[in-house]
Amino acid sequence: MDEQHVLAVDLGGTNIRVAVIGESGAVENRTQLPTGAEDGPDAVIGRIGNLINQVAADAGVAADVPVGVASPGPLNPRSGVVHYTPNLPGWRDVPFVEKLSAIVHRDVALANDGNCGALGEVQFGRARNIKNLVYLALGTGIGGGIISEGVLIDGKNGLGAEVGHTVVALDGPRCTCGSIGCLEAFASGWAIQAEAEHIATTADGDMLREIAGDRPIHAGIVAEAARRGDLAAKALLDRAGRALGAAMGSFINMFDPEMIVIGGGVAALGDLIMGPAKLAMPSHSFIDMRAGMTIEYSALGAHTGLYGAAALAFVQFGKVEGSIISR
């Protein structure tokens, strides 16, 4: 092959995706299977291993090509152990890398999907050649990754960069992590949904109920109500955006980044949430740091997980020509 390739795995609660990805971003032999999380960790890891072996055989990938895995966390990327993950019931301190390596007989790198996302943005996405990046993945929860001077910031056990669990309001709403007033408790998919469900039980919830009909309420329904001018839905998204903007300000003051990249499903709300966020951000950050900094939406789309996993494998085992990331 003309360029280096790696095997990329995107492990999600619903699907396992595997592909061969080249250093320039070419995606080959992309395939997927249901995760079947109910069968427990050994069965899931077995499924991943078989899928890797099948893709590697189909694509004629050499025996020394490594594997990168983007997984929900918390996990320890140094020991390769997944501590637990809300989306995969029964996973508790699973020696993922050890078990998967035994099936695929290849080097395996593991990191959480947020950290992989940051690496993916630098190698394949909006943040190419960016050495100081804050990546925020606004999904059901809020994850992300930090790259500072070309180094992924993840701390002593590799558990850091929990960007969604930064306190923005001492007296704010309870978070699923047990804390109070986390960014995630304002601006994540679950937080927006929970607040909307509450509004729907009140007199202010007429339009939310009308749009939802028989469906459960979710962020997309809140967005639709806001677009139709519903004040309660607008206020909800304003509040979420304001919390996001304040957190972005704090991250700017902490990391003096060149770029913030916003990914994840909630980012699809666009200006409904990013509008108030961008209004709040300047009043929470130093002008010398936000000057020259840009905020971009991720463009990796459905391939985010695979690109992130591939970038991880390149960083950990390969050497991409001109890469600015070290580990």
Contacting residue, 49, 257, 276, 305, with a copy of itself by CB under 8 A: 257
Shortest gap between Cβ of 147 and a copy of itself (angstroms)?
11
Position 95 contacts a copy of itself (CB under 8 A)? no
Contacting residue, 9, 242, 309, 311, with a copy of itself by CB under 8 A: 242
- CA 232, chain centre distance (Å): 28
- Within 170-209, the residues that bind a copy of itself by CB under 8 A are 170-172, 177-181
Position 220 contacts a copy of itself (CB under 8 A)? no
C-alpha 45/C-alpha 97 separation (Å) is 9
C-alpha 55/C-alpha 242 separation (Å) is 44
Is 113 considered catalytic here?
yes
Position 151 contacts a copy of itself (CB under 8 A)? yes
C-alpha 84/C-alpha 139 separation (Å) is 18
Contacting residue, 33, 103, 169, 235, with a copy of itself by CB under 8 A: 169
Contacting residue, 29, 50, 101, 157, with a copy of itself by CB under 8 A: 157
Contacting residue, 142, 247, 273, 310, with a copy of itself by CB under 8 A: 247
Residue type, 31: T
Q: Parallel, antiparallel, or unpaired for β 133-138 and 142-148? A: antiparallel
Size of the site for a copy of itself (CB under 8 A): 52
Position 141 contacts a copy of itself (CB under 8 A)? no
Report yes or no: 141 and 112 within 8 Å, Cβ to Cβ: no
Position 268 contacts a copy of itself (CB under 8 A)? no
Position 249 contacts a copy of itself (CB under 8 A)? yes
Position 127 contacts a copy of itself (CB under 8 A)? no
C-alpha 188/C-alpha 128 separation (Å) is 26
Position 255 contacts a copy of itself (CB under 8 A)? yes
User: Of 113, 154, 230, 238, which is the active-site residue?
Assistant: 113
Shortest gap between Cβ of 216 and a copy of itself (angstroms)?
28
Nearest to 139 by CA among 193, 179, 101, 178: 193
Report yes or no: 249 and 281 within 8 Å, Cβ to Cβ: yes
* CB atoms inside a 10 Å sphere around CB 272: 22
Nearest to 103 by CA among 176, 47, 159: 47
Shortest gap between Cβ of 153 and a copy of itself (angstroms)?
5
Q: What is the largest CA-CA distance in the chain?
A: 63
Position 168 contacts a copy of itself (CB under 8 A)? yes
Report yes or no: 1 and 20 within 8 Å, Cβ to Cβ: no
Contacting residue, 2, 34, 63, 155, with a copy of itself by CB under 8 A: 155
Length of the chain equals: 327
Nearest to 297 by CA among 278, 316, 324, 319: 278
Report, as residue numbers or ranges, the catalytic residues.
113
Q: Which residues bind a copy of itself (CB under 8 A)?
A: 74, 83, 131-132, 146, 148-149, 151, 153-163, 165-172, 177-181, 242-243, 246-247, 249-250, 253-258, 283-286, 288-289, 292-293
